[in-house]
Structure 1
Amino acid sequence: MLYAILCYNDERAVSRWTPEEDAACMERLGAVQSRMSEKGKLGPVVRLWNTDEAKTLRKSSGEPVVFDGPFAETKEQFLGFYVADCANMDEALDFARDLAKANPDGGSYEIRPLRLYNPSGLTE
C-alpha cells in the first residue's frame, strides 16, 4: 500500500538554517531515503517552496478567489512529502521515525494511506 508522509515544520526556523546546516540535513534525509529507494519502495519526494511563494484558490459560491499565501496561518507549515510503498502502517511509521531522527528541528510527520488516481509506476 502507498503512504504519504507529509512533513510539517516552522518554515521560518528552517529558512534560518545556514546553507551548510540545510545541506547536512538533506544529506541525513538522503541516507534515510536511499534505504527505501534501494528496496524499490520510494516514490516521489517533494520539498515545497516557502508559503510566501504560495497561492490559495478558495471556492465557495460563485467564482473562485485567489489569495496570497497558504490556506491557514499556523505555527507549522506543510514543507513537503514522501510517497512510500509500505507493507502496512507500521512500516510507514518506521520510515517516518527515521526521517524524524535525521531532521534536527522539531516538526511533525503525518502518515496517510494513498489512493492513486493517476498512477506512475508505483502500485497500491
Structure 2
Amino acid sequence: MKYLCLVYLDAAHWNACSDQVCAEYAQQVAASRRLLAAEPLHGTHTATTVRVRNGEVLLFDGPFAETREMLAGFYLVDAKDLNEAIQLAAGIPPAQHGSVEVRPVRELQLAPG
C-alpha cells in the first residue's frame, strides 16, 4: 500500500538536515524498493495557493493555512502496512526536528465505462 509521509518543519529548523543526509536516507529506502518518490520543497514564501470560487480563479501568496510548522517535503513509500510506513517515517532525518504525517494514499473510485 502507498503512504505519503509529509515532512513538516518550523522556520528555525528548516535547514536542520542537510540535503546529503536526506538523500542518503532516500537512497537507503530506494534500495529496499519501498521508495516511490521523495522531494524537498522550497520555503512557503514561494508558495501560491489557488482557489476556484464560482468559476473564478483566485490566487494567494503563501500557504493555505497559517501554521507554525510548514510543509517542507515528502516521501512517497510503498509499505506492507501502517506500521511499516511509520517505521520508514521515523527514519526520515527531519523527523528529529519537526514532524512527519503519515497518510495512506487512496485510489480514485472510478465508475466503469
TM over 0.5: yes
Q: Using the alignment, how far apart are the partners of 2:99 and 2:88 within structure 1?
A: 13
- Consecutive unaligned residues in structure 1, runs of 5 or more: 118-124
Q: Indicate the percent of aligned positions where both proteins have the same amino acid.
A: 33
Q: Is the 8 A contact 1:55 1:66 kept in 2?
A: yes
RMSD over equivalenced CA pairs, Å: 2.0
Q: Using the alignment, how far apart are the partners of 1:60 and 1:75 within structure 2?
A: 27
Q: Using the alignment, how far apart are the partners of 1:70 and 1:89 within structure 2?
A: 28
Identify the range of structure 1 (27-36 vs 53-62) with the bigger mean alpha-carbon deviation: 27-36
Is 1:113 the counterpart of 2:112? The answer is: no
Which TM-score applies when normalising by structure 1?
0.76
Which TM-score applies when normalising by structure 2?
0.82
- Consecutive unaligned residues in structure 2, runs of 5 or more: 109-113
Q: Using the alignment, how far apart are the partners of 1:103 and 1:97 within structure 2?
A: 9
Match for residue 66 of structure 1 among 59, 62, 65: 59
Structure 1 residue 53 displacement after superposition: 0.7
More helix by share: 1
SS in 1 for 2:56: coil
Aligned residues: 108
Match for residue 88 of structure 1 among 62, 81, 101: 81
Change (3 A) 1:5 1:22: closer
More strand by share: 2
